[in-house]
Amino acid sequence: MSNAPFNDLAAPRFSDRLTGLPLRESLERNAADALAQRQATHGVVSLLAFRLEPSAGWSDVYRRRVLRWIAQALRSATRATDFVARTGEHEFTVVLPGASKEQSRAVMVRVQSVLGRYLDTRGQRLNARRVRASIATAPEDGETVDALFSYLSGRIPENETASRSRAG
């Protein structure tokens, strides 16, 4: 009989080891609950997705640091009633119960503002444009978790759209 520590590789993980945030499965349950509440109250629920676009020159250590920064920025820019999760390798999603698309855009701007304060390894500010954002709001963009995620996956990132409209 081995005295080796318990191997938890097969056990389900509910939070991300790097950021401490819940994972996608927890977010989907939370979003389903928020959508059920939305239907009962005829309110709104938004999903706000962020995707990091790492630079080819970033070291693995720096990339992990940026992912932790994004998690911190999301925690500091959201309300206690919002649910923040890491939903992919470079992706984060926030469930915003009762938040319209405009209110979600305000959260997006706050997150990007916080991220712009972080410094890279050369003392330069992190380019917030490396973090793309998209918003899906129920009921206008879908009524189920799957429909909202599908809408998010087909969207041009909001900050990219905003920069194009200013340029044109």
**Is 128 a domain residue?**
yes
Find residue 52's DSSP bridge partners. Answer: 131
Q: Say how far apart CA 105 and CA 118 lie, in whole Å.
A: 21
pLDDT, tens digit (0-9, with 9 covering 90-100), for 77-130: 899 999 999 999 989 999 999 999 999 999 998 888 887 777 555 666 666 667
How high is the mean pLDDT of the chain? 81
pLDDT, tens digit (0-9, with 9 covering 90-100), for 40-89: 999 999 999 998 888 777 888 888 888 998 899 899 889 999 999 999 99
Write down the pLDDT at residue 122: 60
User: Do residues 91 and 44 touch, judged by C-beta distance below 8 A?
Assistant: no
Find residue 23's DSSP bridge partners. Answer: 86
**Is 160 a domain residue?**
yes
Q: Say how far apart CA 49 and CA 47 lie, in whole Å.
A: 6
Question: What is the number of structural domains in the chain?
Answer: 1
**Is 10 a domain residue?**
no
Full domain range(s) for residue 87: 24-167
pLDDT, tens digit (0-9, with 9 covering 90-100), for 13-42: 689 999 999 999 999 999 999 999 998 999
Nearest CA to 87 among 139, 138, 36, 136? Answer: 136
pTM above 0.85, yes or no: no
Domain CATH for 159 = 3.30.70.270
**Is 123 a domain residue?**
yes
What average pLDDT does this structure show over 132-144? 94
Write down the pLDDT at residue 163: 38
